[in-house]
A and B are shown apart, each in its own frame.
Chain A
Amino acid sequence: MEKFARLTALVAPLDRANVDTDAIIPKQFLKSIQRTGFGPYLFDEWRYLDVGQPGQDCSNRPVNPEFVLNQPRYQGARILLARENFGCGSSREHAPWALKDYGFDVIIAPSFAEIFFNNCFKNGILPVVLPDETVDQLFREVAEQEGYMLTVDLAAQTLTKPNGEVIAFEVDPFRRHCLLEGLDDIGLTLQHADEIRAYEARRKQEAPWLFVHLKEVAEKYNQV
């Protein structure tokens, strides 16, 4: 994973509560077996007037001019400003893959659904939780001022507004560390391989039924 660098970028507002992962990336695109290429289909049902198909070239599709990300003033945005419970529903990691592939590195909202929140960190996206009033205020400022940019400094845990005002936010220290250093979780966990083995050895004594070999038993019980 790439290291998360300090960034100053355009903010796009998505003024809807409970945006679910089905809306972020509709199910037909989940059939891909890759991690990349989801960006053109981000928010597909809101962004286009037709129904998209996986692999389709989106350059000639009819776009919905009403949808916020289609407005010229928000082109190139890398920060998404959102409402409460963003990313609810399905656990599909295709949702953060699509947001990242489109170009979003930061999502700001009053609250996130947990699985989505977790998936963001695994993909170099920073989800920032801010109080309702602060988010309301940001929505107002973004609407009023075309080209509204924020500077996101993860190391300092601050957002800086165009007028220089600073908003502090908090991120779990371990997750912040991983994001800043671009660390691979699996590599970190495997550093504790001995402890995992010791745990397993103990549990095999305490609760051996948890270690049944599925494949061997299945052959014995073959009900086909």
Chain B
Amino acid sequence: MAGKTLYDKLWDEHVVRQEEDGTTLIYIDRHLLHEVTSPQAFEGLRLAGRKPWRVDANLATPDHNVPTTELKGGPETIEDPISRIQVLTLDKNAQEFGILEFKMGDPRQGIVHVVGPEEGATLPGMTVVCGDSHTSTHGALGCLAHGIGTSEVEHVLATQCLIQKKMKNMLIKVDGQLQPGVGPKDVILYIIRNIGTAGGTGYAIEFGGQVFRDMSIEGRMTVCNMAIEAGARAGMVAVDEKTIEYVKGRPFAPTGELWEKAVAHWQTLHSDPDAEFDVVIEFDGSQIEPQVSWGTSPEMVIDISGGIPDPDQESDPVKASSMRRALEYMGLKAGMKATEMPVDYVFIGSCTNSRIEDLRAAAEVVKGRKVSDRVEQALVVPGSGLVKRQAEAEGLDEVFKAAGFEWRNPGCSMCLAMNADRLPPQKHCASTSNRNFEGRQGAGGRTHLVSPQMAAAAAIAGHFVDVREYL
């Protein structure tokens, strides 16, 4: 019998019961909640007279609607009345059902996918879900983590389980050594560009190979975060010494004897050498350049040394029509060089790239330089209160502010513009977020996905530029 993949192991450990047709009840170890996708689930519980199955498995924090500018007081002072209601509703629900919440103003509050690992609330080997597609982030710790809809949020609250069928196994193997100036974001954009936004549909993706072994845990989070942009609900990386080192000492991580026992188990969380994957895709990491998206889908990505492709050269008519539509929406022309694309706004933040290493990488480029006059607004939004505090202790806030960036409070911010941070129509934004869909950062806004270093370099130049010229 062939060995097991990491996904097989995580799946098998969480099966509560399985029907003959493969329909399975899977146990959920950790449930993360935020204010946008939970109110209807709590309301459903209330209407059915149900209680949460296991209150202590849940952790809540508001992030999508949270203002990133200084407030006069708590959430009751949020200017937008409907954002305010949503945040206050989460506070009320967490209080009523007895769920731990890191509220606005608590330094532990932040983007739910930054907070979970930071607190040790997500641990290797767990099943982790949240009503948010970027829950795949937590797979970086060797978890089975994926997004769910609101009905499933209610289902997990009520039963601590989900009804699922097993996905297929995909291994994306990137070997070799990354060039200086090329980071985790470039790697994942490069992968999506090659396999497409539906390339991973139906699969759990394991990221393996030298590039991911060499990568930090935060870098792996950036990669797993965008597995969903490749169509896969779950992305994951095997546990290694870096994972264990990362988890050690975090507030919710085990200690003492329990720690030793946990570590012994976590060390088994990797695919067996003879494990069989349904699909294996390999890339050479040394060939990856800094990447930038030009269109309105996360697969519309080019090398910074490249140019915008021509829809007339595309043989698939559905694809060609999407490209034409994207060019029109973005106000760009086929054949234009990546470095000719303008930048009006810069956003460094989001669950993809708002951790301390992201901020350090951006600050390294920004240090001693000025944001271009062309750029109307440049934002840095740390992923959590603790990331912000750490960055300030290292003086990164001063580096950003001196260059002309605004230094904000934690939240999802301009990644999806549910709070007041919005990209105006037709403005081009160098953004470290994860989606360049039409209107994502604000109605009519034009998003270009890049790494934190590339966003920083674009802010300085006023157009996209190869960050390697700035290092």
Contact = CB atoms under 8 A, between A and B. Distances in A.
Interface stretch (B124-132, B178-186, B358-366, B449-457): B124-132
A199 to B, nearest CB: 5
Interface in B394-437: 416-418, 435, 437
A114 B262 contact: no
B251 A217 contact: yes
Nearest to A218: B100
Contacts of A111: 198, 201
Contact of B21 (A122, A174, A221): A174
Contacts of B27: 196, 199-200, 203
A114 B418 contact: no
A185 B157 CA distance: 13
B89 interface: yes
Nearest to A51: B443
Interface in A16-68: 16-18, 20, 22-23, 26-28, 30-35, 45, 51, 54-55
A212 B59 CA distance: 12
Query: Max chain A CB contacts within 10 Å: which of B23, B80, B106, B201?
Result: B201
Interface residues of B, number: 90
B62 interface: no
Contact of A33 (B40, B50, B265, B318): B40
A23 B296 CA distance: 11
B194 interface: no
A186 B48 CA distance: 10
Given A209-B123, A217-B252, A195 B16 contact: yes
B108 interface: yes
A91 B197 contact: no
A214 interface: yes
A54 B113 CA distance: 27
B304 to A, nearest CB: 24
Nearest to B443: A51
B56 interface: yes
A63 to B, nearest CB: 16
Contacts of B91: none
A119 B25 contact: no
Contact of B319 (A17, A23, A93): A17
B233 interface: yes
Query: Max chain B CB contacts within 10 Å: which of A23, A27, A51, A200?
Result: A27
A131 interface: no
A85 B232 CA distance: 12
B37 A186 contact: no
Nearest to A19: B437
B159 A196 contact: yes
A30 B36 CA distance: 7
Query: Max chain B CB contacts within 10 Å: which of A93, A123, A195?
Result: A93
Nearest to B124: A209
Given A89-B437, A118-B149, A196-B159, A213 B56 contact: yes
Contact of A223 (B16, B107, B154, B155): B107
Query: Max chain A CB contacts within 10 Å: which of B59, B98, B154, B252?
Result: B252
Contacts of B209: none
A195 to B, nearest CB: 5
Interface string B95-107: 0001010000011
A214 B120 CA distance: 10
Interface stretch (B160-168, B237-245, B284-292): B160-168
B8 interface: no
Interface residues of A, number: 68
Given A22-B440, A186-B50, A196-B25, A27 B416 contact: yes
B85 A33 contact: yes
A218 B86 CA distance: 24
A189 B50 CA distance: 13
B85 to A, nearest CB: 7
Interface in B225-271: 228, 231, 233, 251-254, 258-259, 261-262, 265
21 contacts: A16-B322, A17-B321, A18-B322, A31-B65, A31-B82, A51-B443, A54-B82, A91-B131, A91-B148, A93-B131, A119-B151, A122-B152, A186-B159, A189-B155, A190-B158, A193-B159, A196-B161, A207-B262, A209-B259, A214-B252, A217-B251
5 nearest interchain CB pairs? A122-B151, A33-B39, A93-B149, A209-B254, A119-B149
Interface of B: 16-17, 19, 21, 23, 25, 27, 29, 36-37, 39-40, 43, 48, 50, 53-59, 64-65, 80, 82-83, 85-86, 89, 98, 100, 106-108, 121, 123, 125-126, 131-133, 146-152, 154-155, 158-161, 163, 165, 197-198, 201-202, 228, 231, 233, 251-254, 258-259, 261-262, 265, 297, 318-319, 321-322, 325, 386, 416-418, 435, 437-440, 443-444
Given A89-B435, A196-B53, A218-B100, 11 more contacts: A17-B322, A18-B197, A22-B440, A27-B440, A30-B36, A31-B82, A55-B82, A88-B198, A199-B16, A207-B125, A223-B108
Interface of A: 15-18, 20, 22-23, 26-28, 30-35, 45, 51, 54-55, 83-85, 88-93, 96, 111, 113-115, 118-119, 122-123, 172-174, 185-186, 188-190, 192-193, 195-196, 199-200, 203, 207-218, 221, 223-224
